[in-house]
Amino acid sequence: PAIPPHSRALAARVRVRVRVRGARGMRARGVAAATAVAIAAHGGVDAMSRARTGLARDGTTTGTTAALHPRRESGVLPSPVPVAPLAVFLGATVAYVGFRGRALPESYARGVKLAAGDGLKVGVALLGAKLSLSEIGDVATKAAPAIAATVSTGLLATPMINRAVMARFGGAAQSGGLTAKVGGLLAAGSGICGVTAIGALAPAIAASQREVSLAVANVVAYGTFGMMTYPYLAKWLFPDGGAPAGVFLGLSVHDTSQVVGAGMSFRDMYDDEEAFKAATVTKLTRNLGLAIAIPYLAMKLRDVVPAGAAAAGAAAAKQPPLVPGFLIAFVAMAALRSLGDATEAIRTDERWRKGTKFIGEAASQVFLPTAMAAVGLSTSAASLRGVGAAPFIVGACAACSVGAVAACTTKALERAGAFDTDIQKTQRNEK
């Protein structure tokens, strides 16, 4: 018998509702998987922090740690690996072990894509609440020429190095995954703020998960190396320590958490609180370059498409915006934070301080690690096959060039007396 029209309409509505609920369930499953990996990454960071400090489970320190870090016998040093790159690594490991290197099933893929895309954009936008012009201070003003030179080196020299290495190896296939977009991601990561800058630039240039993973691996490797070794180099370059040593650390190490780790190591080894504060303020100022770097690199790379006419046609039909909406939100959040801090009635309000701290921590501790975990989950082993040395050669050259410019410009400012106190300036004038 024929089905009445109203029954067919009802059945169609039921099918639509089932599909919608199914899609929501799949998105929730993928987001939950990325969140679980991010939580595991936080646990790993905490474990490495305690291991680095030499803390036993009962809270005591070892003799070696007490000797190396006499001022922090009861404290915990930062982990050598930040939470965001660890989340990428754990996510890729889970994807490889759980799905045997194959692409994620549809039941997880939608939610993981949501976390890696929209979740990352929300995290970058909220990150603006951690940046305030009132916190830059006198040190950053004095170090402005060194900051500008270092950031410019990262943004301009890294793509040039990338093109030279690609020409030497001959294309993405022969260069082990090195592409123009990888060079752009490395420029942002080396010149601005490590994994956060890579995550901010990736959606603006439609970078693939493979390209993001290669850039993150570079920043983690060379940033961690810098965090562990540059405090000794800073003491050799700036024997008197103080602000010049801190400015060098804030400019030469990639990721914000890595700069904090390097600054804390310098402080604890050489009893230099001023250097630690200078490193933190310099890195905060350097992070402000994100608002300029992302549109610049997006403009340079928005026309770069994968090889193949079909891919080129698809990219031409759907190009990412030159200035992403989440970057506008990031600048707006930073401007709102700066405006509030500049107003005494707002700045002294405890609710304002707690609110901005909550938003900033939500970005750096929740949204960004979860998004990076989703990037790792989206990275299949097949997509990383054939990765060669070329991307890491570019990453090493970028790290060395940024570090060299940071050292030279900071040293020049120190010799010019830019960091001198009033007493030192008087003594210099008397001589």
Task: Find out whether 247 and 139 touch, Cβ atoms under 8 Å.
Answer: yes
Confidence of residue 57 (pLDDT cuts 50, 70, 90): very low
Mean pLDDT, residues 128-148: 81
Backbone angles phi, psi at 91, to 5 degrees: -60, -45
Residue 377 sits at φ, ψ, to 5 deg, of: -65, -30
Place of tokens 């390097």: 262
Per-residue confidence band for 314, with pLDDT thresholds at 50, 70 and 90: very low
The span from the CA of 346 to the CA of 74, in Å, is 35
Residues paired with residue 55 on neighbouring β-strands, in sequence order: 61
pLDDT of residue 73: 40
> What would the two tokens of residue 351 be?
């609710």
CA distances (Å), origin 320, targets 239, 305, 316, 386: 48, 11, 10, 28
Report, as an integer, the average pLDDT of 400-409. Answer: 96
* Arithmetic mean of pLDDT over the chain: 78
How many DSSP H helices and E strands does the chain contain?
Answer: 22, 0
Each residue's pLDDT tens digit, 270-279: 888 888 888 8
Helix (H, G, I), strand (E, B) or coil at 368: helix
The confidence band for 317, taking pLDDT boundaries of 50, 70 and 90, is very low
User: Helix, strand, coil shares of the chain as percentages rounded to 5?
Assistant: 80, 0, 20
Distance CA(217)–CA(388), nearest Å, equals: 13
- The pLDDT tens digits of the residues spanning 191-231 come to 998 888 898 888 888 888 888 888 988 887 888 788 888 99
pTM higher than 0.75: no
